Amino acid sequence: MKSTVVGYPYIGPNREWKKTLEAFWGEEISEQQFEAQMKEYRLANIKVQIDAKVDSITVGDFTYYDRMLDLATMFGIIPKRYKWNSDSVSLETYYAMARGNQAAPASEMTKWFNTNYHYIVPEYEGQNLKLIDNKPLRYFLEAKENFNVEIKPTIIGPATFYLLTKEVETSNKPSYLLQLTNVYSQLLSELSLAGAEWVQIEEPILATSLSSDDMRIITEIYDQLNTTKGSSKLLLQSYFESVEWYEEVINLPVAGIALDFVHGFEENISNIRNFGFPKDKVLSAGIINGRDIWITPLQQSLDLLVELESLVTPNHLWIQPSCSLMHVPVSLTLESNLPKELNDNLAFANEKLQELAILKNALKNGRDVYQEAFENNRLARELLNNSLVRQQEEVQNSIKRLSEVSLSRISEYAIRKDLQQELLQLPRFPTTTIGSFPQTAEVKRNRTQLKKGQIGKEQHDNFIKDEIERWIAYQEGLELDVLVHGEFERTDMVEYFGEKLAGFVFTANAWVVSYGSRCVKPPIIYGDVKWENPMTLDETVYAQTLTTKPVKGMLTGPITILNWSFVRDDIPRSIVAQQIALALRKEIKVLESAGIRVIQVDEPALREGLPLKAKKHDDYLNWSVDAFKLATSGVEDETQIHTHMCYCEFNDFIEPIRALDADVISIETSKSHGEIIKAFKDAKYTNSVGLGVYDIHSPRIPNIDEMVAVVNDSLEAISPEQCWINPDCGLKTRKTDETLAALERMVNTAKLLRERSVQRIK
18 annotated ligand binder? yes
Amino acid letter, residue 316: H
- CB distance 560 to 606 below 8 Å: yes
CA geometry: angle 708, 713, 717, nearest 5 deg: 130
Distance CA 447, CA 457 (A): 10
15 annotated ligand binder? yes
DSSP codes, 619-677 = HHHHHHHHHHHHHHTTS-TTSEEEEEE-SS--TT-HHHHHHH--SEEEEE-TTTTT-GG
564 annotated ligand binder? yes
What phi, psi does 346 have (nearest 5°)?
-105, 145
Distance CA 100, CA 77 (A): 16
Quote the radius of gyration of the chain (alpha carbons, Å): 26
Q: Quick one: DSSP state of residue 154?
A: E
Q: How many CB atoms lie within 10 A of CB 284?
A: 25
H-state helical runs in 479-572:
495-498, 537-545, 558-563
Give the distance, in angstroms, between the CA of residue 349 and the centroid of all CA atoms in the same chain: 18
Amino acid letter, residue 712: N
81 annotated ligand binder? no
Taking alpha carbons only, the member of 230, 239, 220 closest to residue 61 is 239
673 is catalytic: no
Half-sphere exposure for 133 (CA within 13 Å, toward CB): 19
Give the distance, in angstroms, between the CA of residue 416 and the centroid of all CA atoms in the same chain: 33
Annotated active-site residue in 118, 327, 642, 697: 697
Burial per residue of 538-568, b for 16 or more beta-carbon CB atoms within 10 angstroms, e otherwise: ebbbbbbebeebbbbbbbbbbbbbbbbbbbb
Distance CA 749, CA 704 (A): 6
518 annotated ligand binder? yes
Distance CA 714, CA 182 (A): 39
Distance CA 546, CA 551 (A): 10
323 annotated ligand binder? no
436 annotated ligand binder? yes
- CB distance 383 to 343 below 8 Å: no
729 annotated ligand binder? yes
434 annotated ligand binder? yes
602 annotated ligand binder? yes
17 annotated ligand binder? yes
Distance CA 628, CA 581 (A): 7
84 annotated ligand binder? no
- For the chain, give the number of residues: 762
What phi, psi does 598 have (nearest 5°)?
-125, 120
Half-sphere exposure for 362 (CA within 13 Å, toward CB): 23
Distance CA 619, CA 635 (A): 26
Q: How many CB atoms lie within 10 A of CB 377?
A: 23
111 annotated ligand binder? yes
- CB distance 165 to 121 below 8 Å: yes
Query: Which residues pair with residue 294 across a beta bridge?
Result: 346
Say if strands 518-520 and 552-556 run parallel, antiparallel, or are unpaired. unpaired
723 annotated ligand binder? no
Q: Quick one: DSSP state of residue 389?
A: G
CA geometry: angle 658, 661, 663, nearest 5 deg: 115
Q: How many CB atoms lie within 10 A of CB 368?
A: 8
646 annotated ligand binder? yes
487 annotated ligand binder? yes
Write the CA distances from 483 to 138, 500, 544, 711, 719, integer angstroms: 51, 24, 9, 21, 23
Distance CA 750, CA 430 (A): 7
What phi, psi does 383 have (nearest 5°)?
-65, -40
Cα separation of the two ends of the chain? 78
Known binding-site residue numbers for L-methionine: 434-436, 487, 602
State the catalytic residues. Answer: 697
Known binding-site residue numbers for L-homocysteine: 434-436, 487, 602
Known binding-site residue numbers for Zn(2+): 644, 646, 668, 729
Known binding-site residue numbers for 5-methyltetrahydropteroyltri-L-glutamate: 15-18, 111, 518-519, 564, 608
Known binding-site residue numbers: 15-18, 111, 434-436, 487, 518-519, 564, 602, 608, 644, 646, 668, 729
